[in-house]
Structure 1
């Protein structure tokens, strides 16, 4: 069982060239706007929910315990709370603040927490494709439509869980689909052991034309075959992979 999780992950890789030279804005695709990093290792449950260790036979592997889900939810909520003021328009921030105050009044115990409409602050959401349940939970929590999750779901379907590089496969997907227009804001969210969560917000400096050979990527040859319906897959595993 210690090596079971070796079957979950697939090899992936991505490379980005970053620059702080003003002159490079004319040749770059994106401008980095915000980065929010959340680390909850001060909690024993968060720190110990995913660990690498040897079993009784000396096999090195990964142990995941029952605290993973609660640790992940806590870290993601904290990350989103820190990110929201950076990307949400003022009306959404006011609604959230009023709801927060109301729930702390003596008569506010039954008031449901207000979930901001993040669709008003970003154009594309690219989540770490750790597994189908993770994507389902994020979609429900953030109130996103299926279209906002398409890039991550198709990345999981075709490439599996490539860990942190998966958010770049997802970005390549929306570029190949000709969905990046000048001014678009892209939200990438990755997470992992610790428990840690990182959100990055980019602004598209220019539209990305997939017909340009300079913009070719791993999806270019097969992008017309996607999206596919992943609801009819025959197995019950929480992870779905490309049949190839």
Structure 2
């Protein structure tokens, strides 16, 4: 443990600070608190939600939801669940925690399809506080959540797969067609998303010309595309006609953090905030891809500079 702290620069004091932050976060709950945790590969009994309730002494009426096996797009599922739970009653608060444990998925074998995940995935975590209570301190307002899942076809269903290789070594298999499957799933998602975010003139161009690719920058100011890998980012950039600056937060997240699974889109939003370009009234599009195969998109309105 000390060797790990030496490598990362994290001290026991830093861990205490994190604990105190979560305790403070839990203490702000008023009314009926809600806790949602998503972690794809680690699903213990009792759940991670139960672990947090126990560790931080949360109230007995807390509503907990523990999501597993949802892959890198799980945060979109969690936000969608939070949105539905917060529809009523009023004055509720919900904390969404997205993380991933990759320790038990480290692959010691030699099959190439399994080896990619050893070099690509990294640990990460985010915590997001949402409420249905009007609050001037809020940074963002959730405008849209759109989910698409293609599990009917075997190629789509099996392009990301936790399994054993021929020698019995366990790992996460990534198929060669994953970029194509991601593009296909994103197309299905965006067919439902586009009418909600683009102005009428742009929608008319799409209606009269089926081959026309709409300009998403006419309805979106900032883009946070899941940092699943360089090929995925370059494919999305090309298909959506995004500039290098538009895709920069995603590339920075991939370069500095690696693929942090479901939390990556929030690391990207962090890079966007630090760029100084995010202003009140701007709209942010988060797009996440995950096993299943799923594509989830969320649109947020920035409420303050």
TM-score range, shorter chain: 0.7 to 0.9
The Cα RMSD (Å) is: 1.2
Q: Which runs of 5+ in 1 are unaligned?
A: 101-112, 208-244
Q: Which residue is equivalent to 1:144? A: 242
1:167-178 alignment, distance < 5 Å = 167-178=265-276
Q: Aligned-pair distance for 1:4?
A: 4.3
Q: Does residue 96 of the first structure (1) align with residue 206 of the second (2)?
A: yes
Q: Which residue is equivalent to 1:224? A: none
Q: Does the CA contact (< 8 Å) of 1:128 and 1:152 recur in 2?
A: yes
Q: Aligned-pair distance for 1:54?
A: 1.0
Q: Which residue is equivalent to 1:8? A: 120
Q: Which residue is equivalent to 1:193? A: 291
Counterpart-to-counterpart distance in 2, 1:163 and 1:56: 26
Deviations 1:61-118 (A, max 9, x none): 1222233233212101111111100000000000001113xxxxxxxxxxxx100010
Q: Aligned-pair distance for 1:49?
A: 1.3
Matched position secondary structure for 1:18: strand
Tell me which of the two structures has the higher relative contact order, counting C-alpha pairs closer than 8 angstroms and 6 or more residues apart: 1
Deviations 1:107-161 (A, max 9, x none): xxxxxx1000100000001100111111111111001111101111111111111
Q: Does the CA contact (< 8 Å) of 2:150 and 2:157 recur in 1?
A: yes
Q: Could you say if the C-alpha distance between residues 89 and 11 of structure 1 is closer, same or farther in structure 2, counting changes exceeding 3 Å?
A: same
Q: Does residue 74 of the first structure (1) align with residue 184 of the second (2)?
A: yes
Q: Which residue is equivalent to 2:165? A: 55
Query: Given the two structures, how large is their TM-score scaled by the length of structure 1?
Result: 0.76
Match of 2:130 among 4, 18, 34: 18
Counterpart-to-counterpart distance in 1, 2:253 and 2:162: 26
Q: Aligned-pair distance for 1:3?
A: 4.7
Counterpart-to-counterpart distance in 2, 1:8 and 1:67: 17
Q: Does the CA contact (< 8 Å) of 1:126 and 1:188 recur in 2?
A: yes
Counterpart-to-counterpart distance in 1, 2:157 and 2:261: 18
Q: Aligned-pair distance for 1:56?
A: 2.6
Larger relative helix fraction: 2
Query: Given the two structures, how large is their TM-score scaled by the length of structure 2?
Result: 0.61
Matched position secondary structure for 2:125: coil
The total of aligned residue pairs comes to 193
Match of 2:216 among 118, 140, 145: 118
Counterpart-to-counterpart distance in 1, 2:243 and 2:116: 33
Larger relative strand fraction: 2
Q: Which runs of 5+ in 2 are unaligned?
A: 1-110
Q: Which residue is equivalent to 2:260? A: 162
